[in-house]
Structure 1
Amino acid sequence: MNRFGIRANTAAAIGLAAVGALTLTACNGDDADAAKTPPPAASSQAPAAPATPTAAPASSAPAEGGYGGGETAKAGQTFKIGQPAQFPFASGSTKGTIALTITKIDEGQPADLESFKLGDKVKGMVPFYVRYSVKNTGSTDLSFASVGHIKGLLPDGTEAQDLMVIGKFEKCPSDSLPKGFTNGQTATGCAVALAPSASVKVTGGEYWGDPFTLGKGKALTWK
């Protein structure tokens, strides 16, 4: 089995366990609002955007608080954390244009994972919260679309293990885009990345949703 296959199976197993834990939490009312939210469109997860439109190439300095010239981000392009990347976006049948920004990466505590009851599956791991913003820079209403497919990156450029959370996790909230997400609207999201030990940090992030994919030179990265 190749390396990606092993990672995918591990992520799925962790995701299922996390779902069970959060379903129990929902019984206590933590997920009351989730039931009122229409389901996300069929293909992505949830996530990210900038405060202005357009993406600057990795080689150029990011414009202060904005985009570096209106270019569309290309596969393999690298951005600084806090710098937006603009690209055509698709989530199921919903299509438009967004500007995505990984804004910061916060280190959590191993104890943050205890409520998921994952046991040895996350033993020794440390959660990092990859926070991002999404801005609608196109003309399509992206209400309830999902901007997932965000992973953390370790210092050597390899992907950190991700934790798929279904339900509410206040330390790293991630929902589909809100109703009325039209041009100029912004939203924030968060993805959980697991460092293998306390001595390793998650220092970057990547987006590999449509029109990009996993793999060096195929995703957008932030460092």
Structure 2
Amino acid sequence: MRRTAFGAISLAAIGALALTGCQNGDGNGGGKDASTPPAIGSTPPTHSAQPSAPAPAGDGGTAKAGQSFKIGEAAQIPFSYGTTTKGTIALTVTSIDQGQPGDLAPLKLGDKVKGKVPYYVRYSIKNTGTTDLAYASVGHIKGLLGDGTEAQDLMVIGTFDKCPSEPLPKGFTNGHTATGCAVALAPSAATKVASAEYWGDPYTLGKGLIWK
């Protein structure tokens, strides 16, 4: 589902909770844009490492399926969005911040999120290729629980101040950077979202790139 950049959140537009444990679609990683928003609350981050200019890991070559990175470490990856936008980006998960259950109240999801704790997977994107990636969305990022299983995703259509994420801006050419965020839900306060996975094309869910 493509996240709309503007408009108020409504229950009808939220599209409930979904586990993105299925398959790649089109666009970035196939076509479904699972972009979901970052905003920092008062709760300190569970993990954080935000170097001012992260460099791709290793020798700067393309990251391999299943490769692991530290929070704050960049992965050089091929990127595609739709059928015409293609390029190369350095993707970095910069932090995984624990939120509060009350953060979800504006979404009016009621019992669907009762007892669940939101975590905000924040990431940065740097265009390291030669093409303009303007207006593309970088999604397909999900949280993983401590045992490696998938955390539940929360898809938000509209804006969510706790975890804002927008399409890449106009003129997103080589060297430009942007940030994004994805919401992951832990089933209870006793369980934490401990890592994150990127599974956009050419990677697949369960065999993507891991940050922890």
2:200 is aligned with 1:206? no
The residue number in structure 2 matching 1:66 is 55
2:83 is aligned with 1:75? no
Which secondary structure state, in structure 2, belongs to the residue aligned with residue 153 of structure 1?
strand
Percent identity between matched residues is 68
Write the deviation string for residues 63-121 of structure 1: whole angstroms up to 9, x where unpaired.
Answer: x9423321110111111110000111001020000010000011100001111111111
- Structure 1 unaligned residues grouped into runs of 5+: 1-10, 12-17, 25-39, 48-63
Q: How does 1:24-63 map to 2 (within 5 A)?
A: 43-46=32-35
Q: How does 1:1-223 map to 2 (within 5 A)?
A: 20-21=10-11, 43-46=32-35, 65-67=54-56, 68-92=58-82, 93-215=84-206, 218-223=207-212
Counterpart code for 1:219: G
Would you identify which runs of 4 or more consecutive aligned residues in structure 1 move more than 4 Å?
Answer: 40-43
Using a 3 Å threshold, how does the CA distance of structure 1 residues 65 and 177 change in structure 2: closer, same or farther?
Answer: closer
- Equivalents in 1 of 2:118, 2:133: separation in Å? 30
Which secondary structure state, in structure 2, belongs to the residue aligned with residue 203 of structure 1?
strand
Q: Please say if residues 154 and 204 of structure 1, whose CA atoms lie closer than 8 Å, have aligned partners that are also in contact.
A: yes
TM-score, normalised to structure 2, is: 0.77
Which secondary structure state, in structure 1, belongs to the residue aligned with residue 10 of structure 2?
helix
Q: Please say if residues 9 and 159 of structure 2, whose CA atoms lie closer than 8 Å, have aligned partners that are also in contact.
A: no
Write the deviation string for residues 150-172 of structure 1: whole angstroms up to 9, x where unpaired.
Answer: 10011100110000011111110
- Equivalents in 2 of 1:46, 1:197: separation in Å? 23
- Structure 2 unaligned residues grouped into runs of 5+: 2-7, 15-26, 37-52
- Equivalents in 2 of 1:122, 1:23: separation in Å? 16
Bigger proportion of residues as helix: 1
Q: Which has the higher contact order (CA 8 A, sep 6+)?
A: 2
Counterpart code for 2:148: G
- Equivalents in 1 of 2:94, 2:188: separation in Å? 23
Q: State the superposition RMSD in angstroms.
A: 2.4
Which secondary structure state, in structure 1, belongs to the residue aligned with residue 112 of structure 2?
helix
Q: Mark the structure with the bigger radius of gyration.
A: 1
- Equivalents in 2 of 1:157, 1:23: separation in Å? 30
Write the deviation string for residues 43-67 of structure 1: whole angstroms up to 9, x where unpaired.
Answer: 43338xxxxxxxxxxxxxxxx9423
TM-score, normalised to structure 1, is: 0.73
The residue number in structure 2 matching 1:8 is none
Using a 3 Å threshold, how does the CA distance of structure 1 residues 45 and 177 change in structure 2: closer, same or farther?
Answer: farther
Q: Please say if residues 22 and 168 of structure 1, whose CA atoms lie closer than 8 Å, have aligned partners that are also in contact.
A: no
Counting matched residue pairs gives 175
